[in-house]
Amino acid sequence: MRILIFCFLLACFQGFTQTKLKKVQLSKTISIALPEDFTPMTDDEIARKYFTFRKPAASFSDPQRLADFSFNENRTPWRKEDIALLQKFYKASYQQLYTKIDFIQEKIVVINKRSFVLFEFVAEVKDEETESMNFGKVTRTYEFIQYTVENEKVQIYHFSCPYQLMKNWQNVAASFMQSVKIK
Predicted pLDDT of residue 11: 52
Predicted pLDDT of residue 17: 53
Phi-psi group of 132: left, alpha or beta (phi > 0 → left; psi -120 to 50 → alpha; rest → beta):
beta
Q: Which domains does the chain have, with CATH numbers?
A: 2-182 (3.40.1000.10)
> Measured between alpha carbons, how far is 35 from 112 in angstroms, rounded to an integer?
20
Predicted pLDDT of residue 5: 45
Read off the pLDDT of residues 12-44 as tens digits, 9 standing for 90 and up: 444 445 789 999 999 999 999 999 999 999 999
> Measured between alpha carbons, how far is 182 from 27 in angstroms, rounded to an integer?
9
Read off the pLDDT of residues 124-157 as tens digits, 9 standing for 90 and up: 988 777 676 767 788 999 999 999 999 999 999 9
Tell me 80's DSSP state. Answer: G
Residue 128, classed as helix, strand or coil, is: coil
- Strands (E) in 36-137, as ranges, are 39-40, 58-61, 68-75, 100-111, 114-126
> Measured between alpha carbons, how far is 87 from 80 in angstroms, rounded to an integer?
12
97's CB contacts (< 8 A; 6+ apart) are: 123
